[in-house]
Structure 1
Amino acid sequence: MTENTLTGSLAVAFDQAADRVLIAQGDRTLTGAQLRQAMDAIAGRLMSLGVAPGDRVAVQAPKSIDLVLLYLGCLRLGAVYLPLNDAYRPDEIGYFLADAEPALFICAPDAADGLHQSGCLPGTVTLRTLGADGAGTWQAVEPSQAGLPPLPASPDDLAAIVYTSGTTGRSKGAMISQGNLLANARDLAAVWGITADDTLLHALPLYHIHGLFVALHPLLLAGARIDLMPSFDPDAVLARLATTTVFMGVPTYYTRLLATQGLDRDTARHVRLFVSGSAPLTPATFQAFAERTGRSILERYGMTECGIICSNPLDGPRIAGAVGHPLPGYHVRIADNAETGVLEVKGASLFSGYWQMPEKTREEFRDDGYFSTGDIATIDVGGVVRIVGRDKDMIISGGLNIYPVEIETLIERMDEIAEVAVIGVPHADFGEAVVAVACLKTGISIEPELIVERLRPQLAGFKLPKGIEFVPALPRNAMGKVQKAELRRLHADRFSACG
């Protein structure tokens, strides 16, 4: 057994938990022995469709146990799993299929006709369907009678290609190895104290590393139980917290839980660990959740290219607005030894590069192996990392650098504000001007000028918003990240008349 790969380690974990339920959805449960058997069966199905080790398998299907089994079968065969956001339209899908050249594409049954009509399917790709209820042409595939190949043996074997969001330029396919996934899973299980006694309530999507890697691998390796929810629903989550010890979410999940009437210390008392990631958790949400539940959310930091790099501690104080220390064996630094600047990282979970983009890969890696994340950060004398914003989100106004998170934190402390995003928009005089796009709490109003006046004693003049816009909701992607590129587009003409 090759326990230096994720696949080999999962196989061992399944054998050790042969009689224990490891994953459930509704009334359907699977033990370790059943998962081990399913890995081989799904690998055999893939082989019967002509998929070989190293071939890509692209998947855009609804969340279900069958989707998890498909992923495990790809790992067993040594195929490269390529998860795709279920919000992508045919034209977007066409880009990924052309770039990754998969041997097989599995989509939702109701999407197949549209994909055929769009002409986005290359002639070399086989199409099968899989629905949330397990229905579809994928399930009718009989496993190959040929013997399965050996388990992936090298930590360097490619396990997945996960495309970045592509907010600027082409989406890039991050190549993630068996060793990358195994190292991060083991490290997270240790840092977060995951054991066979845990039960994770899984409300995240399975097309993103948060739900697919971070929420699955540590629990499965530990022999813990995973209860799958089709999607996040705050009332459904509250109803199931009594049987939950670990919950992972994006900040939006926590703000929506706070908006319910049922969240309190009693409903949260069984949960030992609430984890937040994929987008910044505001200090206001952190504080409100702690006051309501008596539980401090553990915020961590990671990205597609490197898995989880930093985490607040399991035991000890968790700092609002900070993502904690790097995991043991991982290293972080600020580029050019600056006090505030681009965060560079290094560790066992760091990806090998971008699929078919050698120049972009060379551009993002330093000569000593550090990867440039593009996130602006600070590291205090105790080694605690704080993410200030994205490099592309930094505002340069009158030649001065402005980091939006500093302004956002102050505005969100105001009683009238539900949430806010600060952006830079074109300005004829300053180059860029600071604009705050805010959502007000229900039934409450405030004059824009009053927001600026409240900020004036706390911020240098050049950081003060030159415009305040009120909107019903901020545009977000599926993982809860505010789409600042979209906000910049929508408000690009805010100062077009300025001379």
Structure 2
Amino acid sequence: MAGEDASLYALMESNFPVDRNRIAMELPDRGGSAWSFDDLSEGAGRCAGFLDALGLKKGDRVAVQVEKSPEALLVYLACLRGGFAFMPMNTAYRTEEVDYLVGNAEPALVICDPSRESEIAEIANRQAGAKVLTLDAEGKGSLADALAAHGNEQLPPVPCAPEDLAAILYTSGTTGKPKGAMLSHRNLASNGLALRDTWRFSADDVLLHALPIFHAHGLFVACHCALLSGARMIWLGKFDRDRVLAELPRATVFMGVPTFYTRLLAGSGLDAEAVRNMRLFTSGSAPLLTETFDAFRERTGHTILERYGMTETGMNASNPYDEERRAGTVGFALPGTEVRVTDDNDNVLPQGETGGLQVRGANVFSGYWRMPEKSAEEFAEGGWFRTGDVARIDEDGYVHLVGRAKDLIISGGFNVYPKEIEEIVDDMPEVDESAVIGVPHADFGEAGVALVVLRAGEALDEETLLARLKERLANYKVPKRAFFVEELPRNTMGKVQKNLLRDEYRETCRPAA
């Protein structure tokens, strides 16, 4: 990233193929049409030129809540090219959530689905005085119309310094209001290059892209790996099991969340022949069960590569490409990133002990948007970011995530890590999956409650389940109650929403009135 321009966009274009007519994106949802790398470059230039003509200045925020489309990706590239800060919003966010984010970020422009134009326009006008344009999954809307009227005039790439703001991604906000993580060109570029090289991406690769792009996984991890290597993408609007299976034989790389893999395994069609040209499957955004890891390897001959990242840092760690990929671990720190495990006072713990996971590197964000005090709280001396994750590093250096610090249960003064219990419950033959949460308890302060999803046709009762746990765990770790549910609530990236479960079951361990 040396020289005058350290922008991520300039780095991407420098890694495009020499032949810009090579296909960058195949679009099966649009009759098999395709876009070349030249189409991406020209489209990003025209869109950036239009945003400039609207009056946007370097550093202005562009908030985007639209369905996945190649045009939505062009908006992101245009922001990088023009020096604007891209701010994606989850398509599931409703009025109150969008109202808060727009009011907090004060974007100059909001792009939304046509079906929400009047609603978003009211919010944008009241909160930020922002312009509003629309874009749907087919690439149609007032933005497309305005771009057509704008013509072919392009904005040359705007030089950016490494620390210049490239994007703001808001955290999920499971506790308190969402916080806007400020990601610089250095953050995104360093992480993209580390992943490209670690996972051996090249212009010969074909990435089957079925992730949403309002999230770091689909936008930064997947797209950056492809665009920084000149690889081709097969672009699906969403994950659909049949569509993915149909396209897999033409792909070399697939990135998914654990739910994608459980769905692929649930039925016929996934076998060694279907993945004959694949070289890499990765999983992230939520823990991958060992059972899924093993079943996928047995069915396909491929070992899923699990990695670990977060909104504030991008990717921090990855299982190795060539060496052993261990189930239940997220591997080693990526090149340029350091990890350590500490106690509550930021003292580094010996290998094998469990504590707070901290990371440091060029990938780590500078802080939360307009929250300097909160930002300062999250960093330990020396630039170490407190991730909020609880982990241990084993004797071979593999990082094991134990859970989130906020999910920690303190029962009778003892620390209880839900993942340790969940792994044992999930190993029971009757169980499909589980989640363990902490709820108020009169004697112990907090007590564990297990929410359990059974396999189809299986039966298990609370007494038997808890008795089995008592055989394998210290008494203080055993949940006080177990409830059997049809499914666990998840967000769009497949993470179990334990905050919702804590709210629903918070009275279950209180004494009867």
Bin the TM-score by the shorter chain: over 0.9
Q: Does residue 371 of structure 1 match 2:378?
A: no
- Could you say what secondary structure the match of 2:71 adopts? helix
What's the secondary structure of 1:216's corresponding residue? helix
In the other structure, the counterpart of 2:248 is 241
2:15 aligned partner: 13
Deviation at 1:144, TM superposition (A): 8.1
What are the equivalent positions in structure 2 for 1:355-394 lying under 5 Å apart?
A: 355-394=369-408
| 1:133 alignment partner in structure 2 | 138
CA distance in 1, matches of 2:382, 2:122: 48
In the other structure, the counterpart of 1:113 is 118
Q: Deviations over 1:1-27 (max 9, x none)?
A: 856331111122236340210112122
8 Å contact kept, 1:66–1:134: yes
- Cα shift at 1:146: 8.0
After superposition, where does 1:89-488 map in structure 2 within 5 Å?
89-116=94-121, 121-122=126-127, 124-141=129-146, 142-143=149-150, 148=155, 150-335=157-342, 336-338=347-349, 339-488=353-502
| 3-state SS of 2:97 partner | helix
Question: Which whole-Å deviations, capped at 9, do the CAs of 1:231-267 have from their partners, x for residues lacking one?
Answer: 1111211111101110101111111111122222222
- In structure 1, distance between residues paired with 2:153 and 2:47: 13
Residues paired across the two proteins, number: 499
CA contact (8 A) 2:368 2:375 kept: yes
CA spacing shift, 1:12–1:261, aligned 2, 3 Å: same
Residue 152 (structure 1) shift:
2.7
Q: Is the 8 A contact 1:107 1:130 kept in 2?
A: yes
Q: CA deviation at 1:123?
A: 5.5
Q: CA deviation at 1:475?
A: 0.4
State the 1:151 CA deviation.
Answer: 2.5
Q: Tell me the equivalent position of 2:6.
A: 4
Q: Name the CA distance, whole Å, in 2 between partners of 1:2 and 1:36.
A: 20
3-state SS of paired residue (1:455): helix
Instruction: Answer yes or no: is the 8 Å Cα contact 1:195–1:223 preserved in 2.
Output: yes
Alpha-carbon distance in structure 2 between the residues aligned to 1:415 and 1:486: 27
Q: What are the superposed Cα offsets for residues 292-328 of structure 1, whole Å, 9 maximum, x if unpaired?
A: 1111110000101111110001112111100001012
Contact 1:52–1:79 under 8 Å retained in 2 = yes
C-alpha deviation, 1:115, in angstroms: 2.9
Indicate conservation of the 8 Å contact 2:438/2:446, yes or no: yes
8 Å Cα contact 2:357/2:390 also seen in 1: yes
Distance 1:236 1:144 in 2: 35
Structure 2 distance, partners of 1:353, 1:117, is 29
2:15 and 2:230 in contact (8 A); partners too:
yes
Confirm or deny that 1:490 pairs with 2:509: no
Q: Which AA in structure 2 matches 1:187?
A: A
Aligned residue in 2 for 1:61: 66
Q: What is the identity, as a one-letter code, of the residue corresponding to 2:116? A: A
Q: Which amino acid aligns with 1:344?
A: Q
- Amino acid in structure 2 at the alignment position of 1:430: F
The farther-off stretch of 78-87 and 373-382 is 373-382
Kindly provide the CA deviation profile for residues 39-92 of structure 1, in whole angstroms up to 9, marking residues without a partner as x.
Answer: 110101111222121100000001000001111111111100000000001111
Report the residue type matching 2:468 in the other structure.
R
State the alpha-carbon separation in 2 of the partners of residues 50 and 15 from structure 1: 32
Distance 1:2 1:474, change over 3 A: farther
TM-score by length of 1: 0.97
Letter in 1 for 2:398: V
Give SS of 1:30's match: strand
Distance in 1 separating the partners of 2:200 and 2:465 = 43
| SS of equivalent to 1:376 | strand
List alignment gaps of at least 5 residues for structure 2.
Answer: none
Distance 1:10 1:238 in 2: 30
Question: Take 2:249 and 2:312, find their aligned partners in 1: how far apart are those partners?
Answer: 35
Measured in 1, the distance between the counterparts of 2:447 and 2:274 equals 45
Query: Residue 315 of structure 2: SS of its match in structure 1?
Result: strand
Contact 2:107 2:128 (8 Å CA) reproduced: no
1:213 maps to a residue whose letter is: F
1:20-39 aligned within 5 A: 20-26=22-28, 27-39=32-44
**Contact kept in structure 2, 1:97 and 1:121, CA below 8 Å:** no
Per-residue deviation, 1:369? 0.5
| CA 1:384–1:45: 2 relative to 1, 3 Å | same
Matched AA of 1:298 = L
User: Which range is displaced more, 410-419 or 485-494?
Assistant: 410-419
**Structure 2 CA distance for aligned equivalents of residues 118 and 97 of structure 1:** 7
Q: Deviations over 1:154-213 (max 9, x none)?
A: 111111000000110111101101111111111101100111111111111010000010
SS at match of 2:274: helix
Residue identity (%): 49
CA gap of 1:64–1:150, structure 2 versus 1, over 3 A, is closer
Q: CA deviation at 1:35?
A: 1.2
2:91 to 75, 79, 86: 86
CA RMSD of the aligned region, Å?
A: 1.7
Tell me which amino acid in the other structure corresponds to 2:500. Answer: E
Contact kept in structure 2, 1:74 and 1:80, CA below 8 Å: yes
